[in-house]
Amino acid sequence: MTNGKEGYEATSVDEGRCENVEDDGAREGENNGDRAQAQAKLGRNASEGNEAWRNAWGSSKSEKQFDRLAAEVMKTILIPAEDHDAMPAVLETARLVARRFDAYMEGFAVHPAAADFVAVDPLSSLTMTHIHDRDAEIERQARGLFEAFMAEHDVPRAPARYLSHLPPEHARAGNDVPQPARFSWGWPWPAVQFDAFIGSHGRLFDLIVLGRPGRLPQNPRMAPLETALFESGHPVLIAPPAPPKSLGRNILVAWNGSTEQARTNAFALPLFREAERVTVLTVEGGMTPGPTGEEVALHLCMNGVRAQAVNVPPEARSTGESILDHAASLGCDLLVKGAYTQSRLRQMVFGGTTRHILAHATLPVLMAH
């Protein structure tokens, strides 16, 4: 079957798969046209805008690398750092994505506010001095872990022009203007931040990376994840307990027809385009009213993604169990899943797919709400 777009060929919609036979030159031509139209809408001359970005990007970069910049939207990654047992996995998960997209990683220390876990009595031993000292120690430990990881993996420190926040003593020089991000890291916040900061500051970033929450004290907490999902407006990449060996080569999409899943798919498009294999999985009985998995696979094919649709029966398993079992059987290294299609309260009381995946996933999971 031909889908009406030159350069693509697809088999029947029932099979839900396609092969992308478009060459790089054709795709770059389309990207250039899209970029020019966007610049015109913004009231800028396309050629002048492109020239300015080429100058900022660096004359040593080829035209092909420049043309890919517009599609590489995961250029800034936020990493809230905390003392838990999954922090090495969080850092490695973020590094794999940053390496893939030549992205900037920003870390900061996070901790629950004192009022969230203790009532401060003026007569108690927990004085403001003690709280300040505790916060300083938390920030020191988190920064030390973050910087040691970056040094071990030869990740360069970002120049000041990349940083989203600069203390007064590190103010930018007049000619030190921001430029497109490169593979690097920064730690611009010298003080520990509370959970709410993840949601507000996360609105600036393409991706937030956190650990999979657990029940034990040494596990990542749930509050940072829910704050990121519900307050940032951006996707969250949830690292498994152990550092992954790869990420984004073989992707499973847990399609259920929902708005949340559609939004998550849109965020994941840069990863889909880089993947060697994308499987759109639907589990019978786990769908909401919406497009079928075959329609989603075809749409992804039209966006240059090698996608295939698969529909499976639950076989006496929950939807969450079916998704994770299928991801394991295919050897997937990333799961893309919309968060909380049902309400959080309902999932807390009755259980749900999101909660099952958050409790049991052993591979990285990209979520959005």
Region 340-348 average pLDDT = 54
What are the start-end ranges of the H helices in the chain? 24-41, 46-57, 63-69, 87-101, 114-117, 128-152, 195-201, 222-231, 259-274, 293-302, 319-330, 344-350, 353-360
Cα angle vertex 333, ends 74, 296, to 5°? 70
- Closest to 212 in 3D by CA, of 367, 98, 46, 43: 367
Task: Flag whether pLDDT at 218 surpasses 60.
Answer: yes
* Whole-angstrom distance, CA of residue 173 vs CA of residue 124: 47
- Residue-by-residue DSSP string for 199-255: HHHGGG-SEEEEEPP-SSTTSPPHHHHHHHHHHSSS-EEEEPSS--S--SSEEEEE-
* Whole-angstrom distance, CA of residue 161 vs CA of residue 141: 26
Task: Flag whether pLDDT at 296 surpasses 50.
Answer: yes
Task: Flag whether pLDDT at 85 surpasses 60.
Answer: yes
Mean pLDDT for the chain overall:
79
* Whole-angstrom distance, CA of residue 327 vs CA of residue 278: 11
- Closest to 107 in 3D by CA, of 51, 64, 61, 148: 148
The predicted-structure confidence for 96-111, as pLDDT tens digits, reads as follows 999 999 999 999 999 9
Query: For the chain, which domains are there?
Result: 76-169+178-234 (3.40.50.620), 250-368 (3.40.50.620)
pLDDT for 352 equals 82
Region 123-138 average pLDDT = 67
Q: Hunting for tokens 């610049």 — which residue is that?
A: 39
Task: Flag whether pLDDT at 320 surpasses 90.
Answer: yes
* Whole-angstrom distance, CA of residue 208 vs CA of residue 228: 7
* Whole-angstrom distance, CA of residue 14 vs CA of residue 294: 6
pLDDT for 340 equals 78
The predicted-structure confidence for 237-274, as pLDDT tens digits, reads as follows 999 999 999 999 999 999 999 999 999 999 999 999 99
pLDDT for 164 equals 60
pLDDT for 88 equals 97
Contact between 250 and 275 (Cβ < 8 Å): yes
